Structure 1
């Protein structure tokens, strides 16, 4: 374990300049690592601080509480993915290529952060109305908006049949996330270890993409 970042108080401005901000990143990385290893969202602030090797007082300073830390982790993990999705929507390529690239990317993000969907749902469920709405607007609505645009573009181009973007959102997120959320099924039903390697990730991404794209495909008129 890394040596603890020593502080005289809970104010990181008492830290040496070269370590300011480092503790925040260490705490987020620690929470992410613990949830991946345990395949669970159950963790304590002491678990996180001990793994990060920092003073536990810094959790309160940087995040306020555990909920604030988990919200910051969601921001860290989803912000770049949402930015990339919005960039993909703006690209001058066919709707089919856009959607295929996105579906593969969703499986990849859950491979990297298998707790991500569970975390967003728990934060929404446990937050007050204003915070929950902010989470939805910041992290979830942009995905729905991107699906609406891509589906409409695909229909206009004659590549897709129309599907409800709202239902499509739940189908895509559920399909791409399920193997990671319920990976214990591999062990108890199929007799396989719980570790999902990059080869299985690629195979699953191809599988999900094939089925969803076939469902989206515009019917061939006689």
Structure 2
């Protein structure tokens, strides 16, 4: 048999795949854990979204890569390929959640309304997000604030700058209109986030204070109104106060 005939038979044999099938279209060898063909691939964004969805069902602290892979219906190797380990995946998920939260806040506050209304929207937006994602703030603290990854450090800088800019604009505009008194906007930003975050993370305490009543959307809305009124009255310019 000639070499040419043998090569032809091997290429036509259904039981063997050509070596080129194990590489990408560009000819580069695929990385470990990476899907073979784009049409079969589960993309990075889809894996992040699956992780976020799972956060709503189970405590992040108890999740393993295996749990997330099972939920997303992928091989755990795919998660390691994209994110390295669980902390890498969690950092990516929290960063995306923060980005969406900040975008929603900015969209609501992109107006020239009265300071009282803008403070109310800011507080309600923060509390609604934290109520819908009770594990978000602990994840931010663990993965972003105290994380040791470069992605986490960059996310922290972005989160701080972006959130502070929103609070600063409310104060600056309120000062120009004579609605608000001058305060340190950085302290205000920390106070605003803290007032909102603690209410959600201290659910057992809140439940005890309210006679065993479980936290609800209605209770969260009522608390948001209280905080917004508290902040506005404390920030209001003296000459604008009616009582």
| Same fold? TM cut 0.5 | yes
CA distance in 1, matches of 2:42, 2:153: 31
CA distance in 2, matches of 1:39, 1:161: 42
State how many pairs are aligned. 209
Offset at 1:98? 2.0
CA distance in 2, matches of 1:45, 1:116: 18
Of 136, 148, 152 in structure 2, the residue corresponding to residue 116 of structure 1 is: 136
**Who is 1:205 aligned against?**
224
Offset at 1:184? 1.8
Offset at 1:89? 4.5
**Structure exhibiting the larger radius of gyration computed from Cα positions:** 2
Structure 1, gaps ≥5 residues long:
1-8
Runs of 4+ in 1 over 6 A off after TM superposition: none
Does the alignment pair 1:20 with 2:42? Answer: yes
TM-score, normalized by length of structure 2? 0.74
Aligned-residue RMSD, C-alpha: 2.7
Shift in CA distance, 210/65, structure 1 to aligned 2, threshold 3 Å: same
**Who is 1:185 aligned against?**
205
Q: Deviations over 1:34-53 (max 9, x none)?
A: 54455563432222223333
The answer to which of 56-65 and 78-87 deviates more is 78-87
TM-score, normalized by length of structure 1? 0.80
CA distance in 1, matches of 2:203, 2:59: 9
Structure 2, gaps ≥5 residues long:
1-31
Q: Could you tell me whether the CA contact under 8 Å between 1:32 and 1:113 is conserved in 2? A: no
Offset at 1:77? 1.2
Q: Could you tell me whether the CA contact under 8 Å between 2:179 and 2:240 is conserved in 1? A: no
**Who is 1:6 aligned against?**
none
**Who is 1:4 aligned against?**
none
Q: Could you tell me whether the CA contact under 8 Å between 2:171 and 2:180 is conserved in 1? A: yes
CA distance in 1, matches of 2:211, 2:109: 40
